[in-house]
Structure 1
Amino acid sequence: MRWITFADAAGDRVGLVGDDGVHPLEPDITLLDLLDDGTDALATAASRARTSAPLPLDDLVLRAPLQPRALRDCIGFLQHLRNCQGGVDMPLSPRHAEVPGFYFSNAGAVTGPRDDIPVPPGSQQFDFELEVAAVIGTPGVSIPREKAEDHIAGYLVYCDWSARDLQIEERALQLGPAKGKDGANSLGPMLVTPDEISHRRSGEGFDLRMTAHVNGDLVSEGRWSTVDWGFADIVAYASRGARLRPGDVIGSGTVPTGCLFEHFAMDPDHFRGWLRPGDEVVLAVEELGELRHRVVAGQALNPLRTGY
């Protein structure tokens, strides 16, 4: 199943994507509602949706498929960190090979798959991050690794928008990223259930191509199957002593070369530059679809008493 949320005259609406278009559900139902209703709710809803007249997908205004209850972002691709080392003068800690570290991102800053993305106030080094995210469908605490993927309702494309200059300044605080990653998180364009991609299983992920284009130029190309920490480990680790709830979203981390900072760190003399207002960023994952965004000017910086 492939589920979207789209704008309707009466508000946002959930729809099932089929070969003939999008079959909408009745109003006032969200994907969170369906996930809360248990493991069979998506299949039951799909049966109802297929009885409705299809709408052309290209004519719809897409929203994020759901508004997460919590948003974690992991470091699943260790080569991403290796590629970044030169830019921050920080050797890769061996601890990254022991656990899939993560931070909590801003679940209140989720944007749709076609929304404009403003540059954060005060940033001159705006960046994207090309990732996959898993959506929890079945709650659990301290979930065993061998059962972890049974708790995943589906996958979607995820972009962790990052103000690199702010992020680097915040490193000295040792509290994790704050304003450097606070402005926007993109999810979409649809929630794809695991059965849709099971035939592409490979390694700790799936053999699906991941690409990023900026203004039509290919700047990143990788594969989900190269991930070091797959979602079985990520879900098991994230749930240690903590309850994961339906609608929690967990990012895979950035696929290698999947952000501008990596290119800057690896080859600063030929760096193409940071994102600027007017740039178009297209992030795509086979089978999952694409995010397509225009970068726009953000709000002016309001200085603090110190001036920072």
Structure 2
Amino acid sequence: MRLVTFDAGQGEMVGAVASDGSILDLAAAAAPADRPALATMQSLIEGGDVVLDRARDILARNRGDHRHAAADIIFCPPLPVPNSIRDFSNFELHCLQALDTSMRMRAASQPDPEAAYASFKASGAYDLPAIWYERPYYFKGNRMTCSGHESTIQWPRFSTTMDYELEFAAIIGKRGVDIRAEDAAEHIFGYTVYNDFSARDEQVRDQQFRMGPSKGKDFDTGNAMGPWIVTRDEIADATNLAMESRINGMVQGRGNSSGMQFSFEQCIAFVSRDETLYPGDVFGSGTAGNGCGFETGRYLEPGDVIELEVEGIGILRNRIGERRT
């Protein structure tokens, strides 16, 4: 099932996508006793299988009332305020290509850029550390800055270089601690497409202190998700999904979730060691190889329309706002 948070003029509602593409307002179509659990995406997720099965039943029985055309609604972030956001660095190709770009940028400022590049490469300073292959690394994002499908992404005043990140995310649906990898799938509620926008020039400054991104990632509207959450049962194999990015309709990069060093189940097992996970936690896959302008050289410009497509989940589309002074 595909579940959305939408606004049809009366505030945020939770909907299910019908076979004809229309959006069913679940709470409006439900019996009064069921409406509180269907009032928000968070309450639906927290309700577990019982509430999810009720939502499926409401959709199956619906005969066309309480529906909205997709063109007539505003898509909100499917989970407007996640319980938390953890974004992983999980694709080797992306990491290697980003490190190579960093080397070339640093070498460009030297008298002999090619010689400097060769020296940096030979030094091993830009190699992925061995421990990257042993444990999943992540940073925590700002859960208050989410935006949805078809929304405009605000260009932060402090940045001149805006970039996109081709990702998808798993939404935790079941509380747990010390979760074994072989049991972790049952803790996943579903998946959504995720664009972890980056103020790339600011991120370069952030990383000089080696604490990971801060203002390079933290600005209003910077965490785009959508267009909906696809429940776990709809995705047969999350480790083999085609991924593609497009700017103004032109393909920029293609990848596959098979490139993830660690599966979501392994990430869940790692994070949940002596730490409780909660319904509504979001785990980002990390950027796929060839999944950002830092790798391809094509950064975003005001007015660009960026689309991220992940097989089995859908297309997340956003427009880039104007530079502000």
Same fold flag (TM > 0.5): yes
Q: Which amino acid aligns with 2:283?
A: I
- Corresponding residue of 1:294: 319
Does the alignment pair 1:73 with 2:109? Answer: no
Runs of 4+ in structure 1 off by over 3 angstroms are 49-52
Does the alignment pair 1:136 with 2:176? Answer: no
Q: Deviations over 1:267-292 (max 9, x none)?
A: xxxxx4x2111111111112211111
Q: Deviations over 1:29-83 (max 9, x none)?
A: 0110011122322111221244442332233221111120100000121111011
- Corresponding residue of 1:191: 229
- Corresponding residue of 2:185: 149
- Corresponding residue of 1:108: 144
CA distance in structure 2 between the aligned counterparts of 1:287 and 1:59, rounded to whole angstroms: 24
Q: Which amino acid aligns with 1:104?
A: K
- Corresponding residue of 1:8: 8
- Corresponding residue of 2:277: 244
CA distance in structure 2 between the aligned counterparts of 1:6 and 1:207, rounded to whole angstroms: 29
- Corresponding residue of 2:74: 61
Q: 1:42 aligns with which of 43, 52, 64?
A: 52
Q: 1:197–1:206: 8 Å Cα contact kept in structure 2?
A: no
Does the alignment pair 1:26 with 2:27? Answer: yes
Q: 2:290–2:296: 8 Å Cα contact kept in structure 1?
A: yes
CA distance in structure 1 between the aligned counterparts of 2:260 and 2:208, rounded to whole angstroms: 29
TM-score, with structure 2 as normaliser: 0.84
Q: 1:277–1:297: 8 Å Cα contact kept in structure 2?
A: yes
Partner-residue secondary structure (3-state), 2:68 = coil
Does the alignment pair 1:225 with 2:255? Answer: no
Deviation at 1:12, TM superposition (A): 0.9
Deviation at 1:92, TM superposition (A): 1.0
Deviation at 1:8, TM superposition (A): 2.4
- Corresponding residue of 1:180: 216
Q: Which amino acid aligns with 1:236?
A: A
Q: 2:147–2:223: 8 Å Cα contact kept in structure 1?
A: yes
Partner-residue secondary structure (3-state), 1:58 = helix
Q: 1:253 aligns with which of 262, 286, 307?
A: 286
Mapping of 1:159-178 within 5 angstroms? 159-178=195-214
**Paired residues, what number?**
287
- Structure exhibiting the larger radius of gyration computed from Cα positions: 2
The runs of 5 or more residues in structure 1 that have no matched partner are: 265-271, 301-308
Q: 2:239–2:263: 8 Å Cα contact kept in structure 1?
A: no
TM-score, with structure 1 as normaliser: 0.89
Mapping of 1:81-120 within 5 angstroms? 81-89=95-103, 90-120=126-156
CA distance in structure 1 between the aligned counterparts of 2:260 and 2:253, rounded to whole angstroms: 15
Q: Which amino acid aligns with 2:318?
A: H
CA RMSD of aligned residues (A): 1.5
Q: Deviations over 1:112-168 (max 9, x none)?
A: 111101222221221000101000000111211111111000000001000111011
CA distance in structure 1 between the aligned counterparts of 2:322 and 2:247, rounded to whole angstroms: 17
Cα 1:238–1:298 shift into 2, 3 Å: farther
Q: Which amino acid aligns with 1:139?
A: R
Deviation at 1:178, TM superposition (A): 0.4
Q: Which amino acid aligns with 1:297?
A: E
Q: Which amino acid aligns with 2:320?
A: V
Deviation at 1:173, TM superposition (A): 2.3
Partner-residue secondary structure (3-state), 1:138 = coil
My pick for the range that moved more, 243-252 or 22-31, is 22-31
Partner-residue secondary structure (3-state), 1:189 = strand
Q: Which amino acid aligns with 2:92?
A: L
Q: 1:39–1:137: 8 Å Cα contact kept in structure 2?
A: no
Q: Which amino acid aligns with 1:80?
A: H
CA distance in structure 2 between the aligned counterparts of 1:6 and 1:160, rounded to whole angstroms: 21
Cα 1:116–1:94 shift into 2, 3 Å: same
